[in-house]
Amino acid sequence: MSSQHSQLACRGALLTLLRRLHFYIGLFVGPFIFVAALTGTLYVLTPQIENALYHEALHAEAYGPQKSLAQQIAAARKYIGEDASIYAVRPAPRPGDTTRVQFVDPALGASESRAIFISPSTLAVKGDMTVYGTSGVLPLRTWIDQFHRGLLLGDTGRLYSELAASWLWVAALGGVVLWLTSRPKRKLKVRRTPQTTARHWHITLGAFLLLGLMFFSATGLTWSQWAGGNIDKLRSELGWMTPQVNTTLTPQTGHQHHDPHAEHHAMMAGMVMPAAADESWDRALHAARAAGIESDKLEIRPSLAADKAWTVTEIDRAWPTHVDAVAVDPTNFTAIDRVRFADFPLIAKLTRWGVDAHMGVLFGLPNQLLLAAFGFGLCAMIVLGYRMWWLRRPAVSANNPVHTLSEAWFALPQALRAGSLFIAALLGYCLPVMGVSLLLFVAVDSARWWLRVFRKQVSP
């Protein structure tokens, strides 16, 4: 009987600890998760808005056959200046679309380039604006993306999104565990109150959104500054990096490896690109087609140095995924290496699909709508959580009981305390922002705990 009582006490202490941690995450990290969910939802819903807003730049009237890439690039150079260095060229994917000639601009930020939109048939300049990253998003989505990633505060602001991603999976799993262990075995008739209604919908949304919340947390962490770096190191050590074409012109074997988040890493502003004759772009494209590059959506990049090859990469990330790439020798315009998505390791494929699904591009509109439903559902769940806390908050009084994380932890058996410390240390090492925030939780909680002890000592 004593053993059973001990087990029940241990289970109760664990659930109390989990309940307090769930409460702290919701109270302190909830606002950051809310902002990340809302801005991420806006991002995935704006491609159609962006297409309409920048329709004149993205589309051109077809008045005849397309001119060569050399002629289109010459028209862009004439507009922007002959000395400008080209970062990349994206040929018009379909009739009626424009070609993007992207130039390096030292005044722009990381991963940004100045794109001149050229009509392939008339060579008219249809637009001139900044584009961002490998995904080539335009100013509206760039602003939303940067707000989503870092609140427009640069690397410092990225801590907020990493904080949200670090704790989201803990909050989701913890909420499900609390629900499974606290629900009555028999369905009892519960009197409906504002608090019980909020709790019902908070739990319901959490159960339906669980898989999506885990997915957002995992994929979000791969983009993060500190945890993402640890994930990249692990993938590199395990050989799970994404293959990339070898651009070295000296004889070598094997592929290089590529970061699937290249659109979120720096293309250094002010970089000097080797000069390339405009005719070279047509020859590079022809060599890539001959090597098996089939997608209509392509990006051609010149080499960064004289001993490096050009690259021609498929950039269609819808389903089925087209991200094959070839390296082209600029001296004779022959393909010297090719990477096929079909040959990627499974982990690399899953990473690519996970990133694209997170961005809402993998399955097009259905992907967007599904992410929007999850995003708005998460926002609603957070609001309901705050409403629950507000409705059941105790009145301010020195005699009110204070339930603290420290108190729940001290109630655990010694073995479980040691185990929880080990798990916290391991997670803190792998997810540094989680570790630092957990220390802050403990500091605030300890202050509340000692204040409670002091009040007990001085109370008559």
Under 8 Å between Cβ of 432 and 26: no
The 3-class secondary structure across the chain, one letter per residue, is: CHHHHHHHHHHHHHHHHHHHHHHHHHHHHHHHHHHHHHHHHHHHHCHHHHHHHCHHHHECCCCCCCCCHHHHHHHHHHHHCCCCCEEEEECCCCCCECEEEEECCCCCCCCEEEEEEECCCCCCEEEEEEEECCCCECHHHHHHHHHHHHCCCCCCCHHHHHHHHHHHHHHHHHHHHHHHHHCCCCCCCCCCCHHHHHHHHHHHHHHHHHHHHHHHHHHHHHHCCCHHHHHHHHHHHCCCCEEECCCECCCCCCCEEECCCHHHCCCCCCCCCCCCCCHHHHHHHHHHHHCCCCCCCEEEECCCCCCECEEEEECECCCCCECCEEEEECCCCEEEEEECHHHCCHHHHHHHHHHHHHHCCCCCHHHHHHHHHHHHHHHHHHHHHHHHHHHHCCCCCCCCCCCCHHHHHHCCCHHHHHHHHHHHHHHHHHCHHHHHHHHHHHHHHHHHHHHHHHHHHHCC
pLDDT digits (tens, 9 = 90+) for 115-160: 999 999 999 999 999 999 888 899 999 999 999 999 999 889 999 9
pLDDT in tens, the chain (460 residues): 456 667 777 888 889 899 999 999 999 999 999 999 999 999 999 999 999 999 999 999 877 889 999 999 999 999 999 889 999 999 999 999 999 999 999 999 888 999 999 999 999 999 999 999 888 899 999 999 999 999 999 889 999 999 999 999 999 999 999 999 887 666 666 678 888 899 999 999 999 999 999 999 999 999 899 999 999 998 888 888 889 999 999 755 455 555 555 444 434 333 444 556 678 999 999 999 999 999 999 999 999 888 999 999 999 999 999 999 999 999 999 999 999 999 999 999 999 999 999 999 999 999 999 999 999 999 999 999 999 999 887 654 444 445 788 888 888 889 899 999 999 999 999 999 999 999 999 898 888 778 877 776 776 5
For residues 98 and 304, what is the distance between their CA atoms, to the nearest angstrom?
A: 25
Q: How far is CA 422 from the centre of its chain?
A: 29
Under 8 Å between Cβ of 314 and 297: yes
pTM assigned to the model: 0.89
pLDDT digits (tens, 9 = 90+) for 321-352: 999 999 999 999 999 999 999 999 999 999 99
